[in-house]
Amino acid sequence: MNVKGYSEIVLIVKDIQKSKKFYEDVVDLTIESSDKDWVWFYVGDKNGNQRLAIHKGKLLFEEKSPLPEGKRWGQIHYAFEVDRDNLNPAIEKVKSKGVEIFGPVDFKWIKAKAYYFYDPDGNLVEYWSPDETSM
């Protein structure tokens, strides 16, 4: 397999400033760069390649999508891995910002615990933490 991991996730948002505040203040991501239509966040190690972007507007090659305009992008679900020692403090921070938390869900088949919450655009965000014994 040639795939080493993911490089970026781009979320199409309605309000750049509202989503920027959410991902900076609630999810605790660090901004890599921003302008009026884009905000790029580091995910994990700042020296790594994994990033999350929020964008208002069209993406490259959107006109080539097999889906009709207005149906090309929608709510998605994705997970951030959080060390078990940091999981409860991370969830408490999200709660302290007035965001509703769902879970925990214990996944016995992957030996992990997860909590879920929604961003301002209805994307389902997960904080996922493998059991220390499975690492």
pLDDT digits (tens, 9 = 90+) for 92-128: 999 999 999 999 999 999 999 999 999 999 999 999 9
Whether 68 shows a pLDDT value over 80: the answer reads yes
Domain 8-58+74-134 has CATH 3.30.470.20: no
Each residue's pLDDT tens digit, 23-53: 999 999 999 999 999 999 999 888 878 999 9
Task: Tell me whether strands 51-55 and 8-12 are parallel, antiparallel or unpaired.
Answer: parallel
Q: What is the pTM of this model?
A: 0.86
Banded model confidence at residue 3, pLDDT cuts 50, 70, 90: low
